[in-house]
């Protein structure tokens, strides 16, 4: 991780039938974060900024990081059902939540099952919907480092890119990436990173305040998918960040944090 250990802690908790790795830090009301398909590996500027006003809860999904793999979980609906059990055991209900990429798809699936589990929901370039224009980047056609790089419009201009994707990753980092890719394939191999029924199910969260955040030049999940999300979730808002790829929280941290804080604090 990339900042002082005084601002966050990492622990293993027992929830939903096994060990769950949990990073926690900050102050204020809870803010639940669902990490993307590569897993949670760094505490970054956007975490630190959000932690000034919220207590961040960042669990690792089943099979990611140090969280015990639940063998019965074979698709995203299974993972969503398991997570509802995790949230029960952690005592998190009516909580604000942010989901990134695959974690955004996961958060959306959870919300369709139990809309009242979240207070407000932020989905950041989520997978889960087949784009009407363009295609979701196939992460399994390249190595992890290439996939991570594809998520940035201009990696060389991003100060934290080296923290997200080191030039010389450690063997432990490479193994963690590969383990994450294995678990991501269980969730989204076929059809690739989407569920055909999701747009219809999203109508269930019509009463949940939802913000969608997308980079205009997203090379992993085309913006057209965001437009379908917006059309499918009543009264949702889509914010498009210019000159930005798939990782607005890293590539445009200040703008991302401002948009998210304004949404979460609004009456």
The vertex-59 CA angle with 36 and 153, nearest 5°, equals 20
Note the pLDDT of residue 1: 36
Six token digits for residue 168:
């010389």
Give the DSSP per-residue string, 180-234: HHHHHHHHHTTTTTB-TTHHHHGGGGTTS-EEEEEETT-SSS-HHHHHHHHHHST
Note the pLDDT of residue 267: 80
d(CA 169, CA 178): 12
d(CA 261, CA 115): 21
Please state the φ and ψ torsions of residue 23, each to the nearest 5 degrees: -100, 135
d(CA 132, CA 143): 26
Which residues of the chain fall short of a pLDDT of 50?
A: 1-5
Note the pLDDT of residue 6: 57
How many CB atoms are located within 10 Å of the residue 138 CB?
11
- pTM, rounded to two decimals: 0.96
Q: Residue 199's closest CA among 124, 134, 131, 129?
A: 129
All structural domains of the chain, each given as residue ranges with its CATH number in brackets, are 5-265 (3.40.50.1820)
Note the pLDDT of residue 3: 42
| Residues 41-85 pLDDT 10s | 899 999 999 999 999 999 999 999 999 999 999 999 999 999 999
Note the pLDDT of residue 4: 46
Q: Which residues pair with 118 in a beta bridge?
A: 95
Note the pLDDT of residue 103: 98
């Amino acid at each position: 991780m990339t900042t002082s250990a005084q601002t966050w802690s990492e622990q293993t908790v027992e929830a939903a039938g096994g060990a769950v790795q949990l990073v926690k830090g900050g102050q204020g009301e809870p803010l639940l974060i669902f990490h993307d398909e590569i897993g949670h590996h760094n505490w970054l500027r956007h975490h630190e900024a959000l932690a000034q006003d919220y207590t961040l809860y960042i669990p690792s999904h089943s099979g990611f990081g140090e969280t015990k793999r639940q063998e019965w979980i074979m698709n995203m609906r299974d993972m969503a059902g398991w997570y509802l059990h995790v949230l029960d055991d952690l005592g998190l209900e009516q909580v604000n939540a942010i989901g990134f990429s695959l974690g955004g798809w996961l958060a959306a699936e959870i919300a369709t099952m139990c809309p009242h589990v979240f207070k407000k929901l932020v989905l950041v370039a989520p997978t889960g919907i087949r784009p009407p224009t363009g295609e979701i980047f196939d992460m399994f056609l390249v190595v992890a480092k290439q996939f991570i790089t594809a998520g940035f419009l201009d990696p060389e201009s991003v100060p934290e890119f080296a923290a997200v994707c080191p030039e010389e990753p450690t063997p432990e980092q490479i193994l963690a990436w590969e383990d994450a890719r294995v678990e991501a394939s269980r969730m989204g191999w076929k059809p690739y990173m989407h569920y055909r029924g999701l747009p219809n199910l999203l109508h269930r969260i019509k009463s949940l305040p939802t913000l969608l955040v997308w980079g205009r030049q997203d090379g992993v999940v085309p913006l057209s998918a965001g437009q379908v999300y917006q059309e499918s979730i009543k009264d949702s808002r889509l914010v498009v960040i210019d000159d930005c790829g798939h990782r607005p929280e890293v590539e445009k941290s200040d703008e991302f944090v401002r948009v998210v804080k304004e949404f979460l604090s609004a009456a």
